A and B are shown apart, each in its own frame.
Chain A
């Protein structure tokens, strides 16, 4: 419809968006070319912060940890999520409804709460994880205090929280399969595996891209879980990019450097998100 004073509807919103997105972005760019001082009197250092960041071994390490984290959670969550969707989509069984309700819970849980629960589970002395290991006659493991296991622990917490999300997304995909197609594959004598691989998986492609996109975005912003479970440690074994930027900014107060970190992180995010959007053809137009 044509409306003369359309700007009245949009002006407050645009004002809010300028104040909360454009203003911080520009401020960040300016700050990233300075060395910030608590008592004022910043000095201009050009692109020095960027050079320092991109050549620092801390940054490379955080990049590596984030890459491992991303590959691990996405591959495991997609596989388990698909299996979960098959289970929830299968012929009705006892407890199916309760299970669907249970699956709604982890994804709305505050990441801090998820972190707390899993920190308690992975407690070396009284945690549930080691108790279960002892029930089956194994020794307990130092989950959160050895570098490799700490990363594994944080990844397990992510898998717990987000596999149901991927599962329910995949379930939505499965339920979009026309019933005739299911019928046809049964009549043609396809067994369960053949049916899932040739009929179901193609229907899951676009929804799984959506899940992948959002897991990617969240993993690049990740701070809370790591903050609560390991505080980036032991050493820097679980210091992902988001957490590293937080520490530089609000623990070390190197705000100029952290601003450059934020800008780089933003461009990494946009770059990866564009690849996913282009490849997947979801949210048409969003990639431009």
Chain B
């Protein structure tokens, strides 16, 4: 009995160690590379202890002007998030609460957008935007990102509205409050945490997006993931700069992820895991 217990204990710590090793080491490795002086990056075997330097961060901000794509990424993600929520919230409320025909089918329309391969949206929008001169603009990128962000926001918010107890809103309606006022002053504040979580997830998805960005932007609306790749050319790869920009892309998202950890799985599974 005693040996069995020690065996179980050892097995558990071994499993924990292996998990930490596999999932943690890549993160440690990229952080170390970003902080290493350039000559130490390409050594064999790798150097694990060294005096850290912020040179690569200085290079990407001062020489490579990464603050411009950083600003583009921020504006595009913010615009996508605001538009998704502003147009999506009333629709989500209607889908959750109002009586109408074909409501279920309408709701599933928003869900099916999750299944569409990006290339299906990319080709027609590219040709249309070329005609409308929306390529490589912030507004154009926001419209493209609405293809995934908007249905996501509607579907998520509908779930949050449905989870509210109906009584409060009914009482307001009976007291003569108009449906729109009930929505705006009662239902919307009640789902504030869900609204915030949805906003953060919309922001993360837009911030991380790469395929549309590399197709639709070239110079003036270039986003962070596209800019990071410019440190990788046919002739050489600047691993220090690449690692530093990887951290610039990932750090805000990592903080957000911890903030919305309660809603993360819900968001990544379109509400099917509570």
Contacts and interface: CB of A to CB of B under 8 A. Distances in A.
Contact of A28 (B16, B42, B123, B242): B123
Interface of B: 8, 12-13, 15-16, 19-20, 22-27, 29-30, 33, 41-46, 87-88, 90-91, 93-95, 97-100, 104, 106, 108-128, 143, 146-147, 150-151, 154, 169-170, 173, 179, 183, 204, 207-211, 214-215, 225, 228-229, 232, 239, 242-243, 246, 249-250, 253-254, 256-258, 261, 264-265, 268-270, 272-274
Nearest to A30: B124
A252 interface: no
Contacts, number: 264
Contact of B273 (A123, A207, A246): A207
A31 B124 contact: yes
Contact of A101 (B26, B104, B258): B258
Interface in A229-282: 242, 245-246, 249-250, 255, 258-259, 261-263, 265-266, 269-270, 273, 282
B7 to A, nearest CB: 10
Contacts of B211: 223-224, 227, 246
B13 A93 contact: yes
Nearest to B15: A87
Contacts of A87: 12, 15-16, 19
Main secondary structure of the interface of A (DSSP, over half): helix
A168 B265 CA distance: 8
A214 B117 CA distance: 13
Given A16-B87, A16-B146, A207-B273, A245 B117 contact: yes
B93 A9 contact: yes
A109 B43 CA distance: 27
Given A13-B90, A25-B120, A169-B265, A112 B250 contact: no
Interface stretch (A51-59, A128-136, A182-190): A128-136
A177 interface: no
B87 A83 contact: no
Interface string A90-113: 100101100101111111111111
B123 A258 contact: yes
Given A9-B98, A210-B272, A265-B117, A112 B210 contact: yes
A168 B257 CA distance: 14
18 contacts: A9-B98, A14-B91, A28-B123, A87-B19, A90-B12, A95-B16, A110-B225, A110-B249, A112-B208, A112-B228, A117-B26, A117-B27, A117-B29, A120-B242, A227-B214, A266-B116, A266-B120, A270-B112
Nearest to A86: B15
B263 to A, nearest CB: 11
Contacts of A110: 207-210, 225, 249-250, 253
Nearest to A172: B273
Nearest to A250: B215
Interface residues of A, number: 93
A160 B27 CA distance: 11
B239 A120 contact: yes
A134 B33 CA distance: 19
A28 to B, nearest CB: 6
Contacts of A261: 119
B135 to A, nearest CB: 12
Contacts of A83: 15
Nearest to A273: B115
Shortest 5 CB-CB distances between A and B: which pairs? A13-B91, A27-B124, A110-B208, A9-B94, A24-B124
B117 A120 contact: no
A3 interface: yes
Interface string A1-43: 1110010111011101100110111011001000000000000
A21 B113 contact: yes
Contacts of B225: 110, 112-113
A13 B120 contact: no
A99 B12 CA distance: 13
B33 A104 contact: no
B249 A160 contact: no
Nearest to A176: B274
